[in-house]
Chains A and B, each alone.
Chain A
Amino acid sequence: MAKIKVCVLRTAGTNCDKETAFAFAKVGAAAQLAHINSLVSRKNSLDGYSILAFPGGFSYGDDIAAGKILANELRCKLTDELKKFVSAGKLIIGICNGFQVLVKSGLLPGGNGLKQEVTLAVNDSAKFEDRWVYLKGQGARGKKQVKCVWARNLPEVIYLPVAHGEGKFITKDKAVLSRLKKNNQVVFLYCDPSGRKALYPQNPNGSVEGIAGICDETGRILGLMPHPERHVSFLQHPARKKNENSTESDGLIIFRNGVEYAQRYL
C-alpha cells in the first residue's frame, strides 16, 4: 500500500515542523515539509496530500498576535485550495501555533464560513509557559461515538506538554460555546491526573471550561495547544515511563489515528 502523504506546512518562524514530520513518519506516513511560498506560487499544490499539518512555532514572529499573519495569508492566498482540500474529506491538524492559525483563519470551529468565532488569547499568567499537562479526550477507549477522527483509542487521561504564551481558549459568545459542546466539537480538556476539572497550573492558560483542543463539524480538522509530537516515545516522558494502558505513547496514538483514517477512507 502506498504511504499516506502528509504536508507539513512551514513558513518563517515555524519551528516544530521536523518533529511533527518525524511523528507522522513513525506511524508509516510519508511526511514532507513544504514552505508556504511554494503553495502560494503554485509550484507545489495540496492535491497530492491526504493530511495537512500546521506545526508549532512562531509564524512571522507571532507579531500582532499568535498565528495571525499566517492565518491572514491563508485567507488571502490559499482559501480555494484549502476549501477544496477540506471538502475532499481530507484531514488537517494544527498544533499550538498551528491551532492558533486554524482558529484565526476560521477553519476552526468552521461551520460559519471562514468567520473567526473563537480565539486563543494571552495566557492569564501573561507569560509563556512550558509544562506537562493532563488531558481528558473525547476519544477515551471504549466510547463508541467519537467525533474527532484524531482522538480515537486514547487512554482516559493523556499526558502531553504545552509551551505557549497565547493559549487561552475563548469563544465569541456563549452560543458558540454551547454549539461546540452540543456538536461534540470539544476534543480535549485540561484536567487533573484523575481526569477531574483542573485549575491553574493544570489548566495552564485559563481556557474557558479547560478547553485544550477542538475539531470542526466533520471531526476531521483538529486543533490543540498541547504538543502530541513531543510525546511519541517514552524517552520524551518526564519520567521516561512507558504507557501503562497502551502500547504506544499518548501523542503517537493521535498521529496514528489520522494516518489510519486516511488509509481507510482516502
Chain B
Amino acid sequence: MMYRVEVQEKPGVFDAVGQGVKKDISDLGAYAVSGVRFVQVYLIEGGISEKDVRRISEDLLIDPVTQSYRIVNSPVSENKKRSKELVIEIAYNPGVMDPVEESTLKGIADLGLSGVTAVKTAKKYLIHGRISEAQLHTIAGKLLYNKLIQHIVRPLGRQAVRPTAEALGYDFKLITIDLLGTSDEGLLDISKKGQLFLNIHEMLRIKKYFKALGRNPTDCELETIAQTWSEHCYHKTFRGKINYTEAAKSSSRKVTRKIDNLLKSTIMKATKELGKPWCVSVFKDNAGIIRFDDKHNVCFKVETHNHPSALEPFGGANTGVGGVIRDCLGTGLGAKPILNTDVFCFGDPDLPFSQLPKGTLHPKRVMKGVVSGVRDYGNKMGIPTVNGSIHFHERFTGNPLVYCGTVGIMPKDKSFKQANTGDYIVVAGGRTGRDGIHGATFSSGELTHESETVSSGAVQIGNPIQEKKTMDVLLEARDRNLFSSITDCGAGGLSSAVGEMAAELGAEVYLEKVPLKYQGLTYTEMWISESQERMVMAVPKEKAQELLEAFKAENVEATIIGEFTGTKRLKLYYKGNNVCDIDMEFLHEGIPQLERKAEFSVLRHKEPKARCPKDLTGTLHKLLSHLDICSKEWVIRQYDHEVQGGSVLKPLTGILNDGPSDASICQPVLGSKKGVIVSNGINFRYSLIDPFWMAASVIDEALRQIIAVGGSLKEAAILDNFCWGNPDKPDRLGSLVRASYGCYMASKGFEVPFISGKDSLNNEFAVHGRSVSIPGTLLISAIAVMDDISKAITMYAKKPGNLVYIVGETFDEMGASHYFDLSGAIGNNVPKVNPAKARKIFDNLGRATAKGLISAMHDCSEGGLGVAAAEMAFSGGLGIELFLSEVPYKKPQADRNDFVLFSESNSRFIVEVEKKNQKKFEAQLKGLPFGLIGCVSERKTFRVYGLDNKICVNAEIGSLKKSWQQTLKW
C-alpha cells in the first residue's frame, strides 16, 4: 500500500519557504506571481493501515502548532486552464539518494510501527498569479529543480515509490574487453565510449601488459587502470615531461626548457630546499601536516569540485565539502576537522538569460546552489566555515570554480599510517550505489553542452549526517588504536582507496560483501562507484571485532570486504569469480610518462588612455560595488562560523560585525592560547597578463593577510590549487608552467613552504566545438600557527585621533586592477613582488603587533588604498582623512591621484596606530617604506586629499557602506 501525506502551514501561519520562492520568482522578473505556498509531500509505502499513517503524520510529520496534513490518494492533477492557482511538484529521480528517507524510517520505527518499507519525499508548490503552464515550467526549470537529479511529477495517478530498475537483481557475467585484437583507432574508440579518458599511448601500454599475460582485460581491470591513471588521481600533467618555450620580453629570442616533472621541479623543490623542521608530512598523505603544539599537529587540504558544481551546484558543492572533510579524516590516522574554507569563481550573476550558453545554468543559480550546498554540508558536519572569497568573470559562466578546504587537528602520534599484511579491509559509512560512476575520469575531461546528459551519473548529493556519525566513531576508534591505516573513498571509489592503500602490499577484495543501497550493481560498478560518505580502513584482525562493535553502537555500517595480502597484486572476486588480477606495480608505475608542448608569451593589452578624473568619489563608490570587492555578508551569514566554540577572529568584524576580515583565527584546543590562522590569495585577473606575477601576487596576498590579523610567518605554510584549461593546448600549459615558476620564486623568497596542493585541469566549456577556457586561476591557501590569540588584530577603525599609516611601496601597477576593470580595460603593468623586501615588512609589522603597537590593520589589495581605507572607516563607524602626497609612491609617469589611490601593488597594509605609540611604531619600521598618511576622525566622512592637496574624495561613510553592501544583498 502506498500513502501520500501532504503537509503544509495552517492558514494564517507565515510560510517562509513559500515566501522565499516567491521572492526568487520576482527576482527573475516578468512573472505576475502574487503568492506561493509550499507543501511537503511524503510517500509512505508498506503494509500499514491508514490509522498508522495518521499516527505517523500527527506524531512525526507535522508540527502540530503550525502545520496540518492530509492523506491524498491522487498525487497531482492537471492544472485547470485559467485557474488562479497552478500546482507543480518536484521529486527526486530514481536512484538519487533522498536523505530524508533514512531518518524518517527511523522516526517511524521509534513509534513502534513496523511494515513501512520505503519513504520518499517530494516538494509541491501552489503558485498564485497570472502565469501560463508554459511559464510555470520555465520558472520551475530556472528555480525549482535540476533535471539531473529531479523531475516534475506528472499527473499519472499513483506512482511506485521505488523505481523498478532498482528492484532488479544482478546475474553475474564476466565481461572482457578485446584489446589484443583491436587496432589503434579501435583502442581510442574503446577509451572514448567507455568514458575512460585514456590516450593512445596509455591504451597501447595496457594492451602490451595484457598481451604479455596472454589474455584480454576484464572491464573491471580496464576501469581500475583508467581511474588510477586519470588526471584527477595521477596528475599526469604535473608529473609528465614538458617542452617549454617562453618568448623573451622585448626581443624575438625564445627561451626553451625541458621539464621533467613540473611539480618536483618547482613547488616540491621549494619545500625541499626550505627544509622546515615543523613540516611533518608534505605531499604524501591526503593533506599536508605541520606542527601545532607539543601534543598536536594540524593538517590542511583544499580540493576543487568544479565540474559537478557546474552541472548540479547544490550537489556538487555539497559533495565537494564532504570530500575534502574526508581527506582530513583520512590523513595520518585521522584528523578532527576544525574549520572549512570555501572560495568560488562564477560568471556574472546579472547575465541576461538570452546570453546564457546552451547547456549551462545561470550564474546566479549556480552561486545560490553552491552556497546552499556548502552551508548544508559544513553546518551539519559542525565544522565552522570561517574563510573564503568569491570572484566573478564571464569566462566562468560555463565552468565555475568551487574550492573547498578543511583544516584538521590530530594527536602528534596519529600522523602516520601503515597498513600491514593480514589486516582486514573495512569499509565504513554510507552504502554503495550507482551514483557517481566515472567521476574521476569525467573530471579529467572538458565540459561540453552534452556533459549534462552524458555524465549525469557523476552528479550526486551528499548526506552530511551519515558522514558526521561516521566521523564521530572514526575519531574514537583512532584514539582506541583500532586501525592501522585509513583513507577516504572519494574519486575512483574503492578502486582508488584500496588501490592506494594496498600499493606496497597487494590486496584481495570480495565485492559481494560491499553493502549496497539497492541491488542490480555489477561487480565493476561496486568497485568504481563514488558513492559519498565512505571511509576505508586497514584493521588488524585481533581488533576487528571491537571496531565493528564501535560502529554498530552508533548506527554506522562497517563491513570487512577483504584483506591486505603481501602478494603485490590486486585481486578482486565476485562470489568466487576472479574479476581482476593485476600487478600493483603496473597499476601505479606503469603509466607512460606524458610528453607535452608548452608555450608562453606575455599577452599585450591596450593601455587605457583616460585621464584622471578630478573627483574620484563616484569611482570609489563603483569600486566598492564591484562584484569582487563588495560585501559577501549574504553568503557568510548562512555559514555557521562559530560552531566548536573556537572562533576568535570571525569572517565579519567591526562595530556592527559586518566589515570584511582579512583572515580568520581559530582556537582548535579550547582553553589553549594557541591558534591557527587561515587566509587565501586569489586573483585570476593577473593571469590575463602574466601568470608568473599572478602566482607571486596571490602568495603575497595570502601571507600579508596572516600578518594583517596579527600573525607571523614563523610557522606559516601554503597550499596550491591550480585550476586551468586543457593542458593538451600549448598556450594553456605554458601559462601553467609560468605560474609554477612564480610559485617557486615566491615560496623561496618568502621562505614559506608548500605542504599540499591539487590541480584541476580541463576547465573549459565547449559549445559546438568552440572551447572557452577559464582564466588560469591559482588559489593559494595559507595556514599559520599563532602563539597568542589574544594578540589578534581586526581591520576596523577604532578611535578618532588615531594615526593612519600605509606600509609598503605603491607603484604604477594598474595592470588587471579593478580600477581598470571598471572601464573594461586590462592594461599591462601587473603588480610584482619582491619577496625579500616584503618579508622584512611582514616581520616588522609582526613584531609591532606582538608589542601591542597596532590598533587596526587592513590588507591593501583589490581596489587598493582607497577601498582598504574606506572599509576600515565604515566598518568602524568612523571617518578617515587621507593625504595622498604622503604615500611612498614610485612614479614612472605623471602624478595621478587615481593610480595612487587604486593601484593594487603588493606587500602593502593600512595601519591604525594610537598617537602615544607613534614613535615606537615608526622606530620598528625604520628603513622600510611607510607613510603617515592621515588620521581617524569623529566626523563620519571619508575624505582624501590628492597629490595637489585638493580634495579628490569626499563621502559619507554611510553611503560608501551602502554601495559596498548593496551589490549582493539578495
Contact = CB atoms under 8 A, between A and B. Distances in A.
A264 B559 CA distance: 49
Given A13-B468, A68-B107, A121-B16, 13 more contacts: A12-B469, A13-B469, A26-B671, A37-B555, A60-B465, A61-B103, A61-B380, A63-B100, A63-B104, A64-B107, A72-B107, A235-B648, A238-B650
B793 to A, nearest CB: 10
Interface stretch (B62-70, B359-367, B515-523): B62-70
26 contacts: A12-B554, A13-B465, A22-B645, A22-B671, A58-B379, A58-B464, A58-B465, A61-B100, A64-B104, A69-B103, A72-B110, A76-B112, A77-B110, A116-B64, A116-B65, A117-B65, A119-B66, A125-B16, A126-B20, A130-B637, A130-B640, A170-B66, A206-B14, A230-B645, A235-B790, A236-B647
Contacts of B794: 239
Classify the interface of chain A: helix, strand, loop or mixed. mixed
A206 B19 CA distance: 14
A230 B112 CA distance: 37
B641 interface: yes
B713 interface: no
B381 A15 contact: yes
A60 B63 contact: no
A183 to B, nearest CB: 18
Nearest to A172: B65
Contacts of A151: none
Contacts of A56: 643
Given A37-B555, A119-B66, A69 B107 contact: yes
Nearest to A18: B644
Given A60-B103, A72-B107, A76-B110, A124 B14 contact: yes
A64 B643 contact: no
A18 B382 CA distance: 11
A235 B103 contact: no
A69 to B, nearest CB: 5
Contacts of B20: 126-127
A200 interface: no
A104 interface: yes
A15 B643 contact: yes
Nearest to B470: A12
Contacts of A230: 642, 645, 647
B63 A104 contact: yes
Nearest to A63: B103
Contacts, number: 172
Contacts of B207: none
A163 B384 CA distance: 11
A61 B17 contact: no
A111 B738 CA distance: 72
Contact of A64 (B100, B379, B472): B100
B59 interface: yes
Contacts of A131: 637, 657
A57 to B, nearest CB: 6
Nearest to A166: B16
A38 B550 CA distance: 12
B406 to A, nearest CB: 15
Interface in A130-163: 130-132, 161, 163
B111 interface: yes
Contact of B60 (A72, A129, A132): A72
Interface string B52-66: 000000011101111
A42 interface: no
Contacts of A104: 63
A229 B112 CA distance: 35
Interface of A: 10, 12-16, 18-19, 22-23, 26, 35, 37-38, 56-58, 60-65, 68-69, 72-73, 75-77, 104, 116-119, 121-132, 161, 163, 168, 170-172, 206, 227, 229-230, 232, 235-236, 238-240
Contact count band on B:
35 or more
B311 interface: no
A126 B61 CA distance: 19
Contacts of A161: 642
B242 interface: no
Nearest to A237: B648
Identify the 9 closest CB pairs spanning chains A and B, nearest first: A15-B382, A19-B645, A126-B20, A119-B65, A63-B103, A61-B465, A122-B16, A126-B16, A60-B103
A128 B60 contact: no
B759 to A, nearest CB: 32
Given A13-B468, A126-B17, A236 B645 contact: yes
A124 to B, nearest CB: 6
Interface in B849-878: none
B639 interface: yes
B99 interface: yes
Contact of A123 (B16, B64, B100, B646): B16
B789 interface: yes
Nearest to A232: B645
A171 B63 CA distance: 12
Interface in B345-386: 375, 379-382
Contacts of A77: 110
B747 to A, nearest CB: 32
A161 B469 CA distance: 25
B382 A61 contact: no
A63 B97 CA distance: 14
B14 A72 contact: no
A12 B468 contact: yes
Contacts of A73: 106-107, 110
B54 to A, nearest CB: 15
Nearest to A20: B645
Contacts of A35: 553-554
A12 B555 contact: yes
Contacts of B100: 61, 63-64
B451 interface: no
A171 B65 contact: yes
B61 A64 contact: yes
B17 A122 contact: yes
B872 to A, nearest CB: 15
Nearest to A35: B554
B396 to A, nearest CB: 24
A64 B107 CA distance: 10
Contacts of B64: 116, 172
Contacts of B553: 35, 37-38
Given A35-B553, A235-B667, A129 B638 contact: yes
B792 interface: yes
A238 B100 CA distance: 36
A38 B554 CA distance: 9
Contacts of B567: none
Given A15-B381, A35-B553, A128-B638, A170 B645 contact: no
Interface string B70-102: 000000000000000000000000000001100
B653 interface: yes
B111 A163 contact: no
Contacts of B14: 121, 124, 168, 206
Interface in B722-746: none
B175 interface: no
A69 B106 contact: yes
Interface in B605-650: 636-648, 650
Contacts of A171: 65
B923 interface: no
A161 B650 CA distance: 12
Interface string B1-36: 000000000000110110110000000000000000
B640 A128 contact: yes
B670 interface: yes
B852 to A, nearest CB: 13
A146 B19 CA distance: 39
A203 to B, nearest CB: 14
Interface in B448-499: 463-465, 468-469, 472
Nearest to B380: A58
A23 B671 CA distance: 10
Contacts of A58: 379-380, 382, 464-465
